[in-house]
């Protein structure tokens, strides 16, 4: 079984307080397995690039759980340094606890 590659991205314009957009692409080898995107206007002006990036991550994680791919090797790829640094310890801890 090949590794799943999960690409996530998010943006907000203007940042902060604008309209958020996010996207997810999941590949199984070179085959597209799932893709998702969304736009969220923010009438309360609490949106940000970081929130959009986390929205993409959550969409991907929910799909992975619901579709039964949690036992697969998964690489999550993001251009958000914040998301990577904040989630890597939790993901590594989860992985070690399952071994």
What topology does CATH give the domain 4-98? Nucleotidyltransferase; domain 5 (3.30.420)
Looking at residue 92, its pLDDT comes to 67
Looking at residue 99, its pLDDT comes to 47
Q: Two tokens at 25?
A: 């692409």
What are the boundaries of each domain within the chain? 4-98
pLDDT in tens, 53-70: 999 999 999 999 999 988
- Secondary element (H or E) of residue 86: helix 81-98
Measured CA to CA, the distance from residue 90 to residue 71 in angstroms comes to: 16
Q: Two tokens at 3?
A: 């590794």
Q: Two tokens at 14?
A: 């203007």
Regions of the chain with pLDDT less than 70: 92-99
Looking at residue 94, its pLDDT comes to 58
Looking at residue 52, its pLDDT comes to 96
- pTM of the entire structure? 0.89
Measured CA to CA, the distance from residue 22 to residue 56 in angstroms comes to: 5
């Amino acid at each position: 079984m090949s590794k799943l590659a999960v690409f996530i991205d998010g943006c907000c314009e203007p940042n902060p307080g604008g309209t958020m957009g996010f996207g997810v692409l999941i590949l199984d080898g070179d085959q597209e397995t799932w893709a998702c995107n969304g736009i969220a206007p923010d009438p309360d002006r609490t949106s940000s690039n970081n929130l959009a990036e986390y929205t993409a991550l959550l969409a991907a994680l929910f799909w992975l759980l619901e579709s039964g791919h949690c036992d697969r090797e998964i690489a999550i790829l993001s251009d958000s340094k914040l998301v990577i640094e904040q989630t890597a310890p939790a993901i590594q801890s989860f992985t070690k606890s399952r071994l």
